Amino acid sequence: MTLAPEAPATPLIGSAPPSPAGPISAEEAATLPAPPQVDLPRALQVLRFNQRQIDFVFGARRRLGEVFRMQGIVPGGPVITSHPDHVQSLFTAKPEHAHSLTGESPLRPIVGPNSVLTAIGPRHLRQRKLLLPPFHGEAIARYEEMIVEATDRELDRWPLNTPIALAPRMQAITLDVIMSGIFGIEGTPERGTPEHALRRATKGLLRASTWRTAQLAELMNIGRDEPVGITKIGLDLLDRPTYQVIRERRAATDLEDRRDILSLLLQARTEEGEELSDRELRDELLALVLAGHETTANQLAWIWERLVRTPAAHDRLRDAVRGSDDAASARIVEATITEGMRSRPVIPIIGRRVLVPWRLGEYAVPADTPVTMSILLVHHREDVYPDPFAFRPERWDDDKPGTYTWIPFGGGVRRCLGAALAMAEQRIVLEAMARRLDITYVDPEPEHAVHRNVTMIPAAGARVTVLSRR
Ligand code: HEM
């Protein structure tokens, strides 16, 4: 009897058909149509985009195709695309052809217009160059021990057989990592010290930033260089201890032995040989805290929200990290994170303002148009990810993430500066949780996504019950 040859496994990763994109002349742009518009009243578009972005962008793509234009809070709302070739054209755009839209976000008055997050053009490249060294993979390896300790401390505290929301618990870990990695503040510092005041104020500000009133107040800050209203009051409370810590550290005699980012930045010099001013340091440090804390915590919460509802993936991970094959364990941890970031990207959309006419497939947009890339839509293209709504870490068993099809950290000269740190944190926390804890969901229904500031988070904070701990 001959055995029939095994049917080829259905590929779990494919590719999109090509679509031309990039800068074009005004004459060529005039020959191409503008992208179709979302056909809803403007107020409704803004509301739906902010409250239910998943339904909004998937609905618009179904009706209008992979490029469409919506109206936003300010006139001249963004075009939204989800084609990898369009993404590539924007990620690889020359700085004089496209600027990041974070420079126009409500973060601008909070961290100032000159931080790595908000600056554009040459100023952005200068700040990025200064900040790169402490974020390199090798530099990150030095923080790993501290992340392991912060994780174990936190896991030991979790109650058994009681529903808990993972997001705030993950934030406790990422706050420890940020305070230690960025400011060199370990654990809970002594009361009465600027370090203690800074940790408390940071925690308070991050908590307040989740309140609805704070989010509305942030909208008042759009387009400004300095904050107003309650945002200003909250920031003043944080600025005082921040400047105190900066001044004290500047006077420290052991800077060269210290590994935190503040100490490294105090020794950094620009190409012109200048050191960073207190204001520059404050802006950069605050940008890092804001960019790195909630994102990493909620990304981890999302991965668990998916895992506990996907027994095959959960079992595979648990078996791997509890087994003796370290290489297999590391591979499966990585695949689980990659799939989690694909299926629930905590930052669902990013953008550039194109400064010259731009082709996007069959359409063209004029100079000075905000063009956004829906990370959510890119990550759910059926031609790239068959069965896109399924959580299948095994997609990544034989495939590496594509530069323009897996984009939770953005790309090009604006790619997330903290990506290596965020990956290290996720690897350590995911591995420790899967190895030490038996976890199950509280409600079998998937959690909705809600939007907080620029992030997309699980509505109930990823509620789970820890059944046992080893
Ligand atoms: C899972 C966690 C994280 C996710 C999903 C994430 C995602 C992103 C995304 C999508 C961008 C915009 C990229 C673009 O426009 O192309 C970004 C930028 C940035 N992120 Fe992250 N991030 C994470 C963690 C962190 C951490 C831990 C830090 C640092 C402590 C950090 C620091 C930054 C900075 C400084 C930028 C601005 C880079 C620039 O404009 O040059 N992020 N991040």
> In testing the pocket of ligand 1, which one of 262, 416, 427 has its CB within 8 Å of the most ligand atoms?
416
Structure tokens at 319: 């078996």
C-beta of 371 in contact with ligand 1 (< 6 A): no
442 C-alpha vs ligand 1 centroid, how far in Å?
A: 31
5 C-alpha vs ligand 1 centroid, how far in Å?
A: 47
410 C-alpha vs ligand 1 centroid, how far in Å?
A: 8
Asked if 27 contacts 91 with a C-beta cutoff of 8 angstroms, the reply is no
Query: What does the alpha-carbon distance between residue 206 and residue 199 come to, in Å, rounded to a whole number?
Result: 11
Dihedral pair phi/psi, residue 418, rounded to 5°? -95, 15
Instruction: Indicate which residue's Cα is closest to atom 13 of ligand 1.
Output: 410
288 C-alpha vs ligand 1 centroid, how far in Å?
A: 8
C-beta of 416 in contact with ligand 1 (< 6 A): yes
pLDDT for the residue numbered 259: 82
- 3-state SS class at 386: coil
* pLDDT greater than 60 at residue 447: yes
Instruction: Indicate which residue's Cα is closest to atom 22 of ligand 1.
Output: 416
Query: What does the alpha-carbon distance between residue 178 and residue 150 come to, in Å, rounded to a whole number?
Result: 11
CA neighbours within 13 Å on the CB side: how many for 8? 3
Asked if 337 contacts 331 with a C-beta cutoff of 8 angstroms, the reply is no
Instruction: Indicate which residue's Cα is closest to atom 26 of ligand 1.
Output: 292
415 C-alpha vs ligand 1 centroid, how far in Å?
A: 7
What residues have CB less than 8 Å from 47, skipping those under 6 apart? none
* pLDDT greater than 50 at residue 82: yes
Q: Which residue has the higher pLDDT, 439 or 398?
A: 439
C-beta of 411 in contact with ligand 1 (< 6 A): yes
C-beta of 301 in contact with ligand 1 (< 6 A): no
Structure tokens at 348: 């669902």
pLDDT for the residue numbered 2: 43
| Rg, Å, the chain Cα set | 23
125 C-alpha vs ligand 1 centroid, how far in Å?
A: 15
pLDDT, average across residues 146-150: 92
C-beta of 409 in contact with ligand 1 (< 6 A): yes
Query: What does the alpha-carbon distance between residue 62 and residue 50 come to, in Å, rounded to a whole number?
Result: 19
* pLDDT greater than 70 at residue 330: yes
pTM (two decimals)? 0.94
Nearest by Cα to 205 from 289, 147, 266: 289
Per-residue confidence band for 141, with pLDDT thresholds at 50, 70 and 90:
confident
Spell out the domains of the chain, with CATH numbers in brackets: 21-469 (1.10.630.10)
Instruction: Indicate which residue's Cα is closest to atom 40 of ligand 1.
Output: 414
Phi-psi region of 325 (alpha: psi -120 to 50; beta: other; left: phi over 0): beta
Neighbours of 408 (CB within 10 A): 24
Query: What does the alpha-carbon distance between residue 262 and residue 245 come to, in Å, rounded to a whole number?
Result: 9
- Lookup result for tokens 């950094």: 268
pLDDT, average across residues 367-391: 97
191 C-alpha vs ligand 1 centroid, how far in Å?
A: 32
What's the mean pLDDT when you consider all of the chain? 91
Query: What does the alpha-carbon distance between residue 462 and residue 137 come to, in Å, rounded to a whole number?
Result: 29
117 C-alpha vs ligand 1 centroid, how far in Å?
A: 8
Strands 358-360 and 163-165 come out as unpaired
Nearest by Cα to 86 from 311, 341, 362: 362
Instruction: Indicate which residue's Cα is closest to atom 30 of ligand 1.
Output: 292
pLDDT, average across residues 400-428: 97
Query: What does the alpha-carbon distance between residue 23 and residue 12 come to, in Å, rounded to a whole number?
Result: 33
Query: What does the alpha-carbon distance between residue 360 and residue 247 come to, in Å, rounded to a whole number?
Result: 49
- Strands (DSSP E) found in 98-226: 98-100, 163-165
C-beta of 418 in contact with ligand 1 (< 6 A): yes
Per-residue confidence band for 50, with pLDDT thresholds at 50, 70 and 90:
confident
Nearest by Cα to 454 from 204, 263, 262, 287: 287
Query: What's the burial of 21, exposed, middle or buried (CB within 10 Å: 0-12/13-18/19+)?
Result: buried
Specify the length of the chain in residues: 470
C-beta of 265 in contact with ligand 1 (< 6 A): no
pLDDT for the residue numbered 1: 42
**Atom nearest to 178 CA in ligand 1:** 30
CA neighbours within 13 Å on the CB side: how many for 12? 15
Query: What does the alpha-carbon distance between residue 298 and residue 461 come to, in Å, rounded to a whole number?
Result: 8
* pLDDT greater than 60 at residue 156: yes
Lowest mean pLDDT among 71-75, 235-239, 306-310, 397-401: 71-75
Phi-psi region of 121 (alpha: psi -120 to 50; beta: other; left: phi over 0): left
Lowest mean pLDDT among 254-263, 290-299, 346-355: 254-263
Strands 455-458 and 449-452 come out as antiparallel
User: What is the dihedral sign for C-alpha 297, 302, 305, 310?
Assistant: negative
Percent of the chain with pLDDT over 90: 68
**Atom nearest to 412 CA in ligand 1:** 16
Looking at residue 87, its amino acid is: V
Q: What digits encode the pLDDT tens for the residues 222-279?
A: 666 777 777 788 888 899 999 999 999 999 999 988 888 999 899 988 878 888 999 9
Q: What digits encode the pLDDT tens for the residues 164-215?
A: 999 999 999 999 998 988 998 877 788 988 889 998 888 888 777 766 666 6
C-beta of 410 in contact with ligand 1 (< 6 A): yes
pLDDT, average across residues 307-329: 97
Mapping DSSP onto H, E and C, the string for 313-372 reads HHHHHHHHHHCCCHHHHHHHHHHHHHHHHHHCCCCCEEEEEECCCEEECCEEECCCEEEE
**Atom nearest to 127 CA in ligand 1:** 41
20 C-alpha vs ligand 1 centroid, how far in Å?
A: 28
